[in-house]
Amino acid sequence: MPRSATTKRSVVKAMTYRVLIVILDFATVYLFTGQVRIAIGFMVVSNLYTTVAYVLHERIWARAQWGLQETG
């Protein structure tokens, strides 16, 4: 029987992933610019639109039957 992810799982997965990416975004931009304000600005804007995109992408894949195997 195919398995699918719940919306709640997709949202929690996206949130934990975004925490990691926020840290990496800030560190990378700060290393390149040396500017805390620029790094924070990029981090905020980038993570708003990419979080939405990630959740949508995850939900599309959760509905796709391709690559799922029955267990048991």
The 3-state DSSP class for residue 4 equals coil
Task: State the DSSP code for 6.
Answer: -
Tracing tokens 């992408």 back to the chain, one arrives at: 57
At 3 the pLDDT is 77
Displacement of CA 62 from its chain's centroid (Å): 15
At 71 the pLDDT is 74
At 33 the pLDDT is 97
At 23 the pLDDT is 92
Spell out the domain ranges in the chain: 7-63
pLDDT digits (tens), the chain, 72 positions: 667 788 898 889 878 988 898 899 999 999 999 999 999 999 889 888 888 898 899 899 888 888 877 776
